[in-house]
Every structure is written in C-alpha cells, then in structure tokens.
Amino acid sequence: MEDKKEVKLVPAICTQCGATLEVDPSQETAVCKFCNTTFIIEKAINNYNVKYANIEHADNVNIDMAGTVKEVLDFAGKQIDESRAERKERRKIEAENERQFISTFFKYFFIFAGVMIVFWIIANLLGLFG
C-alpha cells in the first residue's frame, strides 16, 4: 500500500483577483481556480493573514492613503477633462452643421426669390396681371 501523506490546506487570497482559496503551504506556487493566475503561495497566505488579522493592541497606527486618494482624484480629473473636451468638440460640430444648414437655406431661398422676381417681371411685361 502507498503511504498517503495528508496535506493541510491553509486559507489564502489570490494576489490577482482577491478570491479566497485554500492552498498547500508546502508548495511555492499555485493557480487561482477563479482567474487562472499563477501566484506565489507565501504572498497569498500573507494577504489572507493581513486581511483577517486581529489587532489586539495598538498604541499608534498610521495609514497613509494620500497616494491612493491622489490617484483617484487624478483619475476623476482626467475623466472630467476628457468629458469636457468631448462636449466642446460635439458643440463645435453642431455649430458647424447649423452654419451649413443656414447657408444652404438662404442660398436656396435667394434662388427661389430670384426666380419668382424674374417670373413676375416677365408676367408684367406680357400683361398677364392687368
């Protein structure tokens, strides 16, 4: 008979997608069953331990989120700038289309008016109106 060694699995968090899974701590790497990413088991176990750590006593804790907040604000600022640029370009195109429409309208209006005046003059010369 074969000797089967029982493997004790420990909880870990995928370093790519954040899924919670169980891994064999005696191995160096594993593949996430959710996103199929290969990750280092030690890092995944550490991620789990940090996420679910119990802090029993802390005199002083500093959490620096300035970088994260700045990144979020920078991203939001870029999105707003892009949105403004798109609206500006759309208004520019709409204004150009309106100018073309008005130009075309008046061109055909004056052609029509000119033709009507010519017919009126011809009709008066032939005495059709009086």
Report pLDDT digits (tens) over 95-122: 999 999 999 999 999 999 999 999 999 9
- Classify 23 as helix, strand or coil: strand
Highest mean pLDDT among 41-45, 64-68, 105-109: 105-109
Q: Which residue reads 């017919």 in tokens?
A: 119
Cβ contact 13:34 at 8 Å = no
Whole-angstrom distance, CA of residue 121 vs CA of residue 130: 13
The Cα-based distances of 61 to 29, 66, 73 in angstroms read: 32, 15, 24
pLDDT of residue 125: 87
Q: What is the pLDDT of residue 117?
A: 95
pLDDT at 110: 96
Instruction: Give the pLDDT confidence of 14-29 residue by residue, as tens digits.
Output: 988 988 999 999 999 9
Mean pLDDT (the chain, rounded)? 86
Tell me the backbone φ, ψ of residue 53, rounded to 5 degrees: -70, 145
